[in-house]
């Protein structure tokens, strides 16, 4: 097959990394695969995988973008694409309008992000893969009577790349060089968090982890957090880290910036904090991992707790964020950092779980089966046009609702300013 893969963006986020890794694995099964994207650090991963990269327009003033839909349509024609595989919401709609409706090219959509499906989403003709159980069940209920397939595809991990590093055995992963570059050569209890430094979904778990490690310092002398990533709130987190370090009188919170290959950081960790694919990659290194979600949620991933992650995946929602002195994350990190035997037990189990349930190769085989199904079950032209009309109507309603809410917020803000 000839497959076009459209990641959500070209930043180093979990969904986009999954897109490139699965594209490479599908290519290695004997298929031709192209990746389409804008500028961004993920291009290095695409190049390293030896995948051809097609350019998208750098700016999309509206979403869905007509320019993006036209670019996808042109690539489908030029490369005689059999299936377009998109990641997250807007790329799916753009491929639906550019490839599926006018040409009948099958489109498969993958959703790894949290939250319910938006109302403008295609209900028929476009099969979906969902990254966690609750969304899988919800989507099946929404689409169940309308004939579109829904599959569960949990985040994949390439265990040939992400795996324990024993005594420098992997020449590509120079842990000592990474530690020297960032002043981390002195042994110390180390928490590692690899994430996009973004406001949406990420801000709370980033801030809570910084605060929790700082809070642990009197109990665990020398404890440190290594935070890997870049993004829109990087300056805010640098300021938070600087304040914590000044109060402690030492460099306990270390921000490394973005890394195209964060494996040395995972390898250095005693405990990993994360969500989604980042949590799974930590587990693939044989590290005990604590999932920190939103609204105060945090929970170690252990044989005793794994069932709690079936619904939302490696994420969670609590009952509300609390001050650091009452944050359960502090105690969870302290328990793991203070007990080497427990770290070894949970780390070994974590590695086995990833190899058995989340291995990239087995996920790629399932994906190829779903590509074949999408090609075999393509609706007739009349059905495609009818669904395009319905999507257009729902999209207009969604955009109108967005504008109305924005106008009401501005109106309330104006009244507040007048009152002052």
Residue-level pLDDT at 420: 47
For residue 240, give every residue at least 6 positions away whose Cβ sits within 8 Å of its Cβ, in sequence order, or none: 207, 210, 211, 253
Tell me the CATH number at 272: 3.40.50.2000
One domain, residues 304 and 265: yes
Stronger pLDDT, 297 or 393, i.e. the higher one = 297
> DSSP string spanning 233-245?
THHHHHHHHHHHH
Q: Is residue 272 part of a domain?
A: yes
Give the pair of three-digit tokens for residue 70. 């036209």
What is the pLDDT confidence band of residue 402, given thresholds at 50, 70 and 90?
confident
CB-based contact 210:234 (threshold 8 Å):
no
CA-to-CA distance for 384 and 172, rounded, in angstroms?
48
Span 110-121, pLDDT tens digits:
998 877 778 888
| pLDDT exceeds 90 at position 141 | no
Stronger pLDDT, 213 or 385, i.e. the higher one = 213
One domain, residues 26 and 128: yes
One domain, residues 205 and 243: yes
Of the candidates 341, 357, 373, which is a domain's last residue? 357
Span 31-87, pLDDT tens digits:
999 999 999 989 999 999 999 999 999 887 888 999 999 999 999 999 999 999 999
Residue-level pLDDT at 145: 43
Which residues does residue 257 pair with via DSSP β-bridges, in sequence order? 228
One domain, residues 352 and 365: no
- Stretch 193-214: mean pLDDT: 96
One domain, residues 353 and 400: no
Helical residues (DSSP H) of 59-98, grouped into ranges: 66-79, 89-95
For residue 9, give every residue at least 6 positions away whose Cβ sits within 8 Å of its Cβ, in sequence order, or none: 16, 37, 38, 40, 42
Tell me which range, 32-36, 306-310, 400-404, is most confidently predicted by mean pLDDT.
Answer: 32-36
One domain, residues 182 and 150: no
Q: How many domains does the chain have?
A: 2
CB-based contact 116:135 (threshold 8 Å):
yes
One domain, residues 74 and 205: no
C-alpha distances in Å from residue 51, one per residue of 21, 24, 76, 362, 383: 10, 7, 16, 20, 34
Angle between helix 360-376 and 14-28 (nearest 10): 80
Q: Is residue 166 part of a domain?
A: no
Q: Is residue 7 part of a domain?
A: yes
Residue-level pLDDT at 201: 87
One domain, residues 92 and 115: yes
| pLDDT exceeds 70 at position 413 | no
Beta-sheet pairing, 190-194 with 150-152: unpaired
Q: What is the DSSP letter of 294?
A: B
Q: Which residue has the tokens 């509206």?
A: 62
Torsion of the alpha carbons at 50, 151, 37 and 114, rounded to the nearest 10: -130
Of the candidates 317, 339, 357, which is a domain's last residue? 357
Stronger pLDDT, 139 or 86, i.e. the higher one = 86
Span 313-349, pLDDT tens digits:
899 999 999 999 999 999 999 999 999 999 999 999 9
Q: Which residue has the tokens 């938070």?
A: 240
Size (the chain), residues: 420
Residue-level pLDDT at 53: 98
Spacing of C-alpha 375 from chain mean position? 27
- Stretch 277-286: mean pLDDT: 96
What is the pLDDT confidence band of residue 185, given thresholds at 50, 70 and 90?
very high
Angle between helix 328-337 and 203-216 (nearest 10): 60
Q: What is the DSSP letter of 105?
A: -
Residue 32: how many other CB atoms lie within 10 Å = 15
Residue-level pLDDT at 124: 83
CA-based nearest residue to 57, from 2, 84, 94, 100? 94
One domain, residues 392 and 351: no
With 0-12 CB in 10 A as exposed, 13-18 as middle and 19+ as buried, what is 245?
middle
One domain, residues 345 and 365: no
Q: Average per-residue pLDDT in the chain?
A: 91
Stronger pLDDT, 44 or 12, i.e. the higher one = 44
CB-based contact 9:40 (threshold 8 Å):
yes
28's enclosing H/E stretch is helix 14-28
Q: Give the structural domain span for 7.
A: 2-156+360-408
Residue-level pLDDT at 404: 75
> DSSP string spanning 158-196?
-TTTSS---TT--TT--HHHHHHHTT--S---EEEEE--
Residue-level pLDDT at 168: 59
One domain, residues 379 and 344: no
CA-to-CA distance for 227 and 233, rounded, in angstroms?
13
Poorest-pLDDT segment among 78-92, 236-250, 401-415:
401-415
Residue-level pLDDT at 416: 57
| pLDDT exceeds 90 at position 133 | no
- Using alpha carbons only, give the angle 45, 208, 214 rounded to the nearest 5 degrees: 105
Radius of gyration over every alpha carbon of the chain, rounded to an integer in angstroms: 22
C-alpha distances in Å from residue 194, one per residue of 47, 262, 264, 278: 22, 7, 11, 6
CA-to-CA distance for 312 and 133, rounded, in angstroms?
6
Q: What is the DSSP letter of 100?
A: I
One domain, residues 305 and 367: no
CA-to-CA distance for 201 and 223, rounded, in angstroms?
26
Overall pTM surpassing 0.85 (yes/no): no
Of the candidates 357, 382, 399, which is a domain's last residue? 357
């Amino acid at each position: 097959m000839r497959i076009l893969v459209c990641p959500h963006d070209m930043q180093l986020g979990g969904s986009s990394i999954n897109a490139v890794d699965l594209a490479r694995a599908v290519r290695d099964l004997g298929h031709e695969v192209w990746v389409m994207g804008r500028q961004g650090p993920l291009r290095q991963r695409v190049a390293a995988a030896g995948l051809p990269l097609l350019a998208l327009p750098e700016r999309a003033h509206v979403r869905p973008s007509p320019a993006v839909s036209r670019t996808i349509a042109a690539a489908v024609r030029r490369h005689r694409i059999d299936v377009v595989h998109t990641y997250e919401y807007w790329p799916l709609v753009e491929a639906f309008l550019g490839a599926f409706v006018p040409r009948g090219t099958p489109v498969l959509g993958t959703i790894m992000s949290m939250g319910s499906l938006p109302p403008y989403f295609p209900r028929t003709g476009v099969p979906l893969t969902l990254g966690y159980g609750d969304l899988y069940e919800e989507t099946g209920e929404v689409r169940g009577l309308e004939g579109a397939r829904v599959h569960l595809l949990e985040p994949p991990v390439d265990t040939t790349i992400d795996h324990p590093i024993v005594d420098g055995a992997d020449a590509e992963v120079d842990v000592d060089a990474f530690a020297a570059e960032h002043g981390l050569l002195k042994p110390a209890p180390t928490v590692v968090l690899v994430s996009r430094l973004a406001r949406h979904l990420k801000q709370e778990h980033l801030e809570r982890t910084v605060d929790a490690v700082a809070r642990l310092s009197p109990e665990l002398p020398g404890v440190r957090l290594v935070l890997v990533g870049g993004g829109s709130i990087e300056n805010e987190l640098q300021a938070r880290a600087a304040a914590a370090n000044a109060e402690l009188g030492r460099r306990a919170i270390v921000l490394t910036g973005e890394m195209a290959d964060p494996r040395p950081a995972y390898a250095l960790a005693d405990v990993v904090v994360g969500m989604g694919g980042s949590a799974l990659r930590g587990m693939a290194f044989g590290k005990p991992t604590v999932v920190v979600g939103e609204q105060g949620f945090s929970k170690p991933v252990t044989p005793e707790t794994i069932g709690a992650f079936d619904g939302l995946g490696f994420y969670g929602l609590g009952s509300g964020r609390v001050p650091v002195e009452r944050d359960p994350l502090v105690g969870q990190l302290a328990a793991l950092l203070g007990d080497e035997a427990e770290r070894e037990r949970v780390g070994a189990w974590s590695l086995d779980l990833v190899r058995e349930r989340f291995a990239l190769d087995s996920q790629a085989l399932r994906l190829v089966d779903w590509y074949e199904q999408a090609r075999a079950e393509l609706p007739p032209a009349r059905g495609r046009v009818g669904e395009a009309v319905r999507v257009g109507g729902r999209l207009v309603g969604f955009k109108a609702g967005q504008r109305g809410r924005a106008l009401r917020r501005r109106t309330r803000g104006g009244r507040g300013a007048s009152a002052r």
